[in-house]
Amino acid sequence: MSTDETIGQARRIAELEELNRLAYALGASLSVEETLGAIADSCLHLTEGERVAILLFGLSPEQEAQTLIRRSDRGEADIDHVVNVLAADLIIRKAEPFTTEDILRSIQLAQPSSTAQRLGPALIYPLTAGERPFGIINLVNSKGGRPFTQEAVRVIGLVARLASQYIQRARLHEALFEDTQRLKEALRDRAGAGSLLGKSPPMKAAREKIALAAGSSATVLLIGETGTGKELAARALHFSGERAEKPFIAVNCAAIPTELFESELFGHEKGAYTGAGSGTRGKFELANNGTLFLDEISSMPPMLQPKLLRVIEEQAFYRIGSEVQTRVNVRIIAATSIDLERAVAEGHFRRELYHRLSVIPIELPPLRAPRWRNIVSKTYHRVRIGPIDNLDELNVTRSRLRAANIDVLRIKLGE
C-alpha cells in the first residue's frame, strides 16, 4: 500500500470515528443549542475550517431566521448574522451546496462590517427536511486563506444529512415543551383563585388569602356554607402552588362509613381484616407529594382524630395490619360547613386537631346578596347567552334561586 493510500485510509477512519462520535452526541441530546454545538464542532474538525455558523429559518413565516450557533478555532466567532442571512438566500436560489473563494463578493454585501471584511473562502451547505431547506451550515476561512475542496463538500454533506433529523427532533421537542408550559400556566390561571366568582369585598378577600396561601405548605381550613365552592377553593390553592403537577385527592368525610374511615385514609394490608383480599393504598399515600382535601372534616369519627393529628405532625403512619411505617409529604386542606370552635367547646371535635387544621383559616361568603347576582350573570355568560348587566331582563329574583336552581348553577360553573 502506497503512502498516499495509507494517508487516505487513515483520514477515512478518522472521518468515520468523528461521525460516530457526532451521532452518539446527537442521539443523547434534545436541546437545540447542544445539538447545533456538536454539529458545529464536528464541521470544524472534519474540514479543518476556521469558522462555522449555523442558521435556522423560523418555524413559521412570521418568525425570522436566527444564527443560533457560532464556532471558531481562533476564539473569534465573527461571522455576522447578515452574512449568514445572505448566504442562506444564495443557497435557496441555487438549491444546492455552494463554495466560493470570496463570500462577500458572492453574497454581494455592499457595506461589510470590520469583522466581515476579514472573511474569505466559504462552504455553504443546506439543512433540509425532505426537499425543503430549513437552515444552513456556513463554513468560512479568513480572507486569502485555504479554499474548501469538493472533499470538504462531501464530508459536510454527510454531516448535514445526519444532523438534519436530530435538529428537527430537538426543535420539535423544545416547541412541545414550550406549548406544555403555556398549557400548564393556562390551567393554573383557570384553576387558580381567579376561578372563584364574585366581586363582593368578602369574596375578594377570600381570593387574596387563597393567592397568598397557595405558596405555602401550611394546612388550610376552608369555612363556608354548603354550596359556597369549598372544593373549588381547595383546587385553587393546589393548582396555584408548587404542588400543581402532583396529585390532588378529595375526600368527603361525611360520605365514608365509620368502620371504613381508617382504611380509606391510611390503607390496609392483605388479610388485615375479614374481606381484605389484597393490600390497598389509602388516600394519604395516593396524595403523596400533593394535596389531600378533607371536606366536611367535622364528620371524622372522634376515635380517628388523634391519628390524623399525629399524621399531620409527623407525616407518617401505619397501614392497618402493617408494622412498617409509611412516610408521606402531603399538604392538608380541610373544609367545614359548621362552626368547629363550637364543636370543640361541645366536645365533638378535638381541640389540638382544630388548631393544627386552622393554621390558615379562610372564610368563603355564602350564596346571598350580592354574590348571587354575580353567579347568575356569569353563569349566563358561560353558557354563551352573553353577559347580562340587567338581571331584571331575565326576571331573576333572589326568591327564585331555590336550592335546585343553585345546584344547576354550580354544575354549570364546575363547582
**pLDDT tens profile 354-385:** 999 989 999 888 766 454 555 554 454 444 44
Work out the end-to-end distance of the chain between its first and last CA atoms, rounded to an integer number of angstroms.
Answer: 83
Question: Given pLDDT bands bounded at 50, 70 and 90, which one contains residue 40?
Answer: confident
Average pLDDT estimate for 190-205 = 63
Average pLDDT estimate for 192-197 = 54
- State residue 145's pLDDT score: 85
- State residue 294's pLDDT score: 94
Mean pLDDT of the chain: 79
Check: CB of residue 375 under 8 Å from CB of residue 219.
Answer: no
Check: CB of residue 112 under 8 Å from CB of residue 139.
Answer: no
Average pLDDT estimate for 83-111 = 86
Tell me the per-residue pLDDT of 252-288, one tens digit each, with 9 for 90 and over: 999 998 888 988 999 888 766 666 667 788 999 999 9
- State residue 320's pLDDT score: 87
Among 165-169, 236-240, 300-304, the range of highest mean pLDDT: 300-304
- State residue 414's pLDDT score: 44
Percent of the chain whose pLDDT exceeds 70: 79
Measured distance CA(197)–CA(232) in Å, rounded:
10
- Tell me the β-bridge partners of 221: 334, 361
- State residue 284's pLDDT score: 93
- State residue 217's pLDDT score: 85
Length of the chain counted residue by residue: 415
Question: Given pLDDT bands bounded at 50, 70 and 90, which one contains residue 292?
Answer: very high
Tell me the per-residue pLDDT of 321-337, one tens digit each, with 9 for 90 and over: 888 899 999 999 999 99
Q: Residue holding cell 368563603?
A: 364
241 residue type, one letter: G
**Residue 94: is its pLDDT beyond 70?**
yes
Average pLDDT estimate for 85-95 = 85
- State residue 272's pLDDT score: 67
CB under 8 Å, gap of 24 or more: what pairs does 111-115 form?
Answer: 112/80, 112/83, 113/80, 115/76, 115/78, 115/80
**Cα torsion through 275, 281, 282, 288, rounded to 10:** 180
Measured distance CA(111)–CA(89) in Å, rounded:
17
Q: Which residues are CB-neighbours of 202 under 8 A, at least 6 positions away? A: 363, 365, 371
146 residue type, one letter: R
